[in-house]
Amino acid sequence: MLNVLTTTPFGFVLELEQDGCFFTPQPYTLLVNGTPRLTGSDPVISLFGLRPDTEYRVEVRGLGEPAAAVIRTERCGFAIHIKDYNAAGDGIRNDTAAIHAAIYSAPPGSVVIFPRGEYLVEHIFLKSGVDLYLEEGAVVRQNPNRDALAIVKGYQKSYDYTDAVINASWEGNPLDCFCSLIYGKDVRQVRIYGNGVLNGGGMEGGWWNEPKKKNRAFRPRNISLVNCSDIAVCGLTSRNSAAWNIHPLYSNNLSFYGLTIQSDPHSPNTDGLNPESCENVQIVGCRFQVGDDCIAIKSGKLFLSRRHLRPSRGIAVRRCLMEEGHGGVVIGSEISCGVQNVLVENCLFRRTDRGFRIKTRRGRGSTSVVDGVRFSHVKMEQVSHCFVVNMFYHCDPDGHSDLVQCKDALPAGPETPAVQNITLSGICADGIAGSAVFLYGLPESPIRNVKIENSRFRFAEQRLLECPDMMDDPVLIPNLGIYARHVRGLTFKNNQMEGTHVDEIEREEKA
C-alpha cells in the first residue's frame, strides 16, 4: 500500500506500508507514468525533479500485487533560483549574501531553488512561508572557519534584565553556540526538501579538538530549529556536522521524512536527530550512521525546566535504519522537563552499542518523568545491549559525585527523576554480545511498570563482560541476560532467550 507522506511543487515522499523492519521483503521498481525511475528496498521514497501542478501515475512493482496511486504535485507560486541572485555554486566564492537575498525577497508561498552545484556559506536563515528546494547534485557546505561564523547567544536578556529568550542550547543549557548551517528561529510553515546534501564541514574546522571545551562558543549543527512550528525536512542528506546533525528545540509539528544522516564514526557528539522539548514529531524512513546516538529525545536540564517547562511528547519513529551509533533510540540524559508518549516501530538497528536506552540521574528534577514509551516490532542485529534504563548515568561535572552515584536510598525531593510505563513488544534481536535487558532504578525512585512481551533475544557465542551502561561501581555479571534492580512491576511474558552461556534473569530487589 502506498501512503503519501507529503507533496511539494517539485516532488513527493511516499511510504510503502509493508510488514517488516525498514527494508521491504524484496526489491521493488518504482514507475512514474509507466517509466521505471528507481529500484530499491527502502520503505520511504523521496521522488523529486518533477513539475509543479502536474498529475503523475506512480506504481510500485515487485512486492506482490502492484500498488499504484495518482498524485498531483502542488502549484508553485514563485520559483526563485539562487543563481539569479548571483550565487556562484562553485564551492569557492561565498554565496551567503546571494542566498539570503533570494530568501528574504521571496513572498510567502515561494520556493527558493538550489540547482546543482556546491554552495559555500556561513549560515542560511529561514523565513516563514518560504521553502528551500535542493535539487539533486546541490551541496550546501558550511565555512569551517570559526572567524567567519556568527555566534548565537544562548540566553539573550532584555535591556532591563526582566526577561530573556533562548536562541541556542548546548547539552541542555542555554549556552552560546556558533550558528548552524541552517538556522530557524520563530519560523512557521517551512519545508526543506530535495535530494541535495548539507555538509557541515565538521572534519575541516578543527571542531573535534578538545570537543568538550568551549572555544568562544560551542559547536554548530547542520540544522537548528528554535521555537518553530510546522516544519518538514524531506529527502536530504545531512553529513559531516560539527555537532548534532539536526536539533529542533521548543518546536512543534515537525516531520522528518526519508533523510540520510551520516557522521564519521569516531566524531564526538555527532548525533543524528535530537528533538528537545518538542511536540508532535514524526521521523519516518530515515537512515542513520553517526558518531554518537542516532536519535536522542531530550528536554533540557534543571535550569530550563524551572523557567520553561516544556516536555518532549508525541514523538513517533517508524521504518528507520540505525547503524553503528552509540544508541539507536535514546531518551536523555538532559530530560528535566520530561518525555511523554514515544512510539518506535518497524525499525532496524545494526551494530549500535545499545538499542533502546533511557539515561537519567539525580539532579534532573521531579519534572523529569519519562512516561509512556513503546517499542514495537523492532529488529536488532549485533547490538551489544538491547534495552537499557540507567538512573545512575554519570555525566556533567558532578556526574561522579556522591549525590549522583550513591547506591543507597536518598530522600526523594525536587531533584529526583522518574521512569515509568515502558513497553517492548515484538522485538527480534540477533547476535547480542552483552545483555538483553538492563534496568537500574534509583532506590528512592524505582523504575515502574515495564512490560516485555512477545520478543526473542538470541545471544552471540562471544559475549562481552562489560557494564551495559555508564555508572560508577559498574555491574559486571558474566553471560548476563536480564538484570533488574530497583524495579516495581516488571512483566516478562511470552519471550524467548536463545544461545549458549545465558543466565536468563538476574533480579535484585525486584517486586
Give catalytic residue positions.
Answer: 292, 326
Q: DSSP states of 258-307 as a string?
A: S-EEE--TT-TT--SB--BS-EEEEEES-EEE-SS-SEEEB-B-HHHHTT
| Whether 19 contacts 25, CB under 8 Å | yes
| Whether 169 contacts 148, CB under 8 Å | no
And the C-alpha cell for 170? Answer: 548546548
What is the identity of the amino acid at 221? R
Residue 303 φ then ψ, to 5°: -55, -45
And the C-alpha cell for 482? Answer: 536480564
And the C-alpha cell for 205? Answer: 574546522
Phi/psi-derived region of residue 250, left when phi > 0, alpha when psi is between -120 and 50, beta in every other case? left
Residue 321 φ then ψ, to 5°: -115, 120
| Whether 175 contacts 112, CB under 8 Å | no
What is the identity of the amino acid at 208? W
| Whether 133 contacts 103, CB under 8 Å | no
Q: What is the pairing mode between strands 327-332 and 348-350?
A: unpaired
309, 211, 202: which is closest to 264 by C-alpha?
202
What is the identity of the amino acid at 310? R
352, 422, 358, 350: which is closest to 379 by C-alpha?
350
